[in-house]
A = this chain, B = another copy of it.
Amino acid sequence: MKGLKTRSAILDHAADLASVEGLEGLTIGRLADELQMSKSGLFAHFGSKEELQLATIEIARERFMTEVFKPALGTERGYPRLVAICRGWLDYIQRNVFSGGCFFAAASFEFDGRSGPVRDAIKKTMDEWIGAIEKAVRLAVDEGHFGPDVEPAQIAFEINAIFFGANYAYNMRHDKRAITRAWNAIETRLEGLRQSPRPARFAHPEKRVARRRAS
């Protein structure tokens, strides 16, 4: 069966391998050993190490979005969706979606001092992710769940930081309380930003109508 693995099966394996050993260690030779494929078979799929790295980032991005981000989009926008994103991320770490912890946390810290297309691809995915958190915070402001002075970029920075801290504590320290600590930190922060429900005169027009009808 040598050489008969599909491109996506190869890349799935590559993403897990890179999450453990780093993207820089992801060579065609190393992957061929792991998959018991010939190097020439892998070269047929990927012409170079860099091409393999970039394709691996793309499949890791898809896995991440499917596992963490997309499920949260089913939740009501504003505060509930922001909470769903955070819970989804912590759940993703506990489920060991990548063998070596969060692929993008590892890749970010591996490539933050470098330049080139691989770094750019990691940064782009992380920008997209942090932008998604930022947008969820902004919607919570728009919905009136948070006060208007809440700065989405600041809160997204903090949530992303807590994710890094959780990934570290869970995978490096094997701290059984890592997830609880991360959730406590996020909950304390977000609860502190909530504003009390608006008084009736500021409520949404439909709700006021409903209230009048009911009374």
A24-B21, A154-B185, A181-B157 known; A99-B113 Cβ under 8 A? yes
Q: How many copies does the complex hold?
A: 2
CB distance from A100 to the nearest CB of B (A): 3
In the assembled complex, A142 has its CB within 8 A of some CB on chain B: no
Which chain B residue has the least Cβ–Cβ distance from A162?
A: B161
Interface of A is mostly: helix
CB distance from A169 to the nearest CB of B (A): 6
In the assembled complex, A53 has its CB within 8 A of some CB on chain B: no
Which chain B residue has the least Cβ–Cβ distance from A107?
A: B109
Considering only CB atoms and an 8 Å cut-off, how many residues of chain A contact the other chain? 48
> Do A105 and B109 have beta carbons less than 8 Å apart?
yes
> Do B20 and A113 have beta carbons less than 8 Å apart?
yes
| A141-176 interface (Cβ within 8 A of B) | 153-154, 157-158, 160-169, 171-173
Q: A160 CA to B109 CA in the complex, in Å?
A: 15
Q: A166 CA to B173 CA in the complex, in Å?
A: 20
Chain B residues whose CB sits within 8 angstroms of the CB of A123 once the complex forms: 172-173
> Do B172 and A158 have beta carbons less than 8 Å apart?
no
Chain B residues whose CB sits within 8 angstroms of the CB of A177 once the complex forms: 153
Which chain B residue has the least Cβ–Cβ distance from A17?
A: B113
Q: Which of B101, B126, B162, B181 has a CB less than 8 Å from the CB of A172? A: B126
Q: A171 CA to B24 CA in the complex, in Å?
A: 18
